[in-house]
Amino acid sequence: MAISFSDLHTEAGLKSLDAFLSGKKYISGDKLTRDDIKVFAAVLGKPGAGFPNVDSWYECVSSLLAASFPGKAVGVKFAGQAAAASATAEEKDTPAGDDDDDLDLFGDETEEEKKAAEAREAAVKASSKKKESGKSSVLLEVKPWDDETDMKKLEEIVRSIEMPGLLWGASKLVAVGYGIKKLQIMMTIVDDLVSVDTLIEEQLTVEPANEYIQSCDIVAFNKI
């Protein structure tokens, strides 16, 4: 039965492991060995009732590791640390010349699988970083050239600017004097993706927007 460690991240791999564990308490017999710890480290989490044999085995291994290493969270990293400790303990019971570092059942983790695991870890970190990125609410004030500027067209130009992390909100016209009105518009931004200063300098006050817009000012800037 050939199952790689990466297969244990899939439903098909867990099904195969569940079938293998049918009628067994541990991977290699009636006691916990390095085989169990290696496989335990490859399983992403408690499988659940859909894989009863794996679930029972996982719970048993988890309990034994927790009892052996109190105060530490049981998981992939912890299992890896436990594997080294278990190896030392097992040397007393392992006949000379017997090498059980290789798991015939699951095979050694290949270089390709290691790279895939590193890529998944990097993707998770990148995803977490994006989720943690802050947002801000900004009130922008946009001034026209004069009282003859088409304010409806001016607002259309402002809202036509699109970029990742930018969302335009409510707006209103505020009288300045001499028949001139200015546009006040709300915007929500993702801080890591949008620079308001850059938006003003490179989008709102250059052609073709500057045909209608004289200047832009930040009236309020609040973190959400």
Tell me how crowded residue 151 is: count the other CB atoms within 10 A of its CB. 16
- β-sheet bridge partners, residue 216: 142
Token readout for 171 is 């707006």
Q: For residues 96 and 110, what is the distance between their CA atoms, to the nearest angstrom?
A: 27
% helix / strand / coil in the chain, to the nearest 5?
45, 20, 35
Tell me how crowded residue 139 is: count the other CB atoms within 10 A of its CB. 17
Q: What angle do CA 134, 140, 142 make, to 5 degrees?
A: 155
The residue type found at 87 is A
User: pLDDT, tens digit, for every residue of 43-82?
Assistant: 777 778 888 888 888 888 888 877 766 655 454 444 444 4
Residues 6+ apart with CB under 8 A from 86: 32, 33, 34, 37
pTM reported for the whole predicted model: 0.43
Digit-by-digit pLDDT tens for the chain (224 residues) are 455 655 677 888 888 888 888 888 888 777 888 888 888 887 777 778 888 888 888 888 888 877 766 655 454 444 444 444 444 444 444 444 444 444 444 455 567 667 777 777 777 676 655 555 699 999 999 999 999 999 999 999 999 999 999 999 999 999 988 899 999 999 999 999 999 999 999 999 999 999 999 999 999 999 98
- Determine the pLDDT at residue 106: 47
Domains of the chain: 5-129 (1.20.1050), 135-223 (3.30.70.60)
